[in-house]
Amino acid sequence: MKSFRKALLCYRDGARLHAYHVPGDDTGRLEKKLGVLMRLGIAEQDATLALMTASKFTVGFVLEEQQESSLPQLNKKVLSS
């Protein structure tokens, strides 16, 4: 997931673009990742859920990172009052 996060951060609003992107036929990459988890003894349904959860979490985390970095810095006096 580190490389996925880095890829999202490479572009301004990268996570937002990914979130609204309609995926194409990329089953080869998904099957490869599922295969790794299944060889470790994880059931296919659980492996699929784990990959989807990690992907959604990563996109959500990067969305927050990118949103925070685009906000203007608040004045410290305003924050302390």
pLDDT digit string, tens, across residues 18-33: 777 766 777 788 899 9
Where are the domains positioned within the chain?
Answer: 2-71
Each of the 81 residues of the chain gets a pLDDT tens digit; together they read: 678 888 888 877 888 777 777 667 777 888 999 999 999 999 999 999 999 899 888 888 888 888 776 655 555 545 554
Residue type, 37: L
- Write the DSSP assignment of the chain as a string of letters: -HHHHHHHHTSTTHHHHHHHPPP-S-HHHHHHHHHHHHHTT--HHHHHHHHHHHHHHHHHHHHHHHHHHHSPPPPHHHHH-
Q: In this structure, how many other beta carbons lie within 10 angstroms of the beta carbon of residue 42?
A: 15
Q: What is the CATH number of domain 2-71?
A: 1.10.357.10
How buried is residue 27: exposed, middle or buried, by Cβ count under 10 Å (0-12/13-18/19+)?
exposed
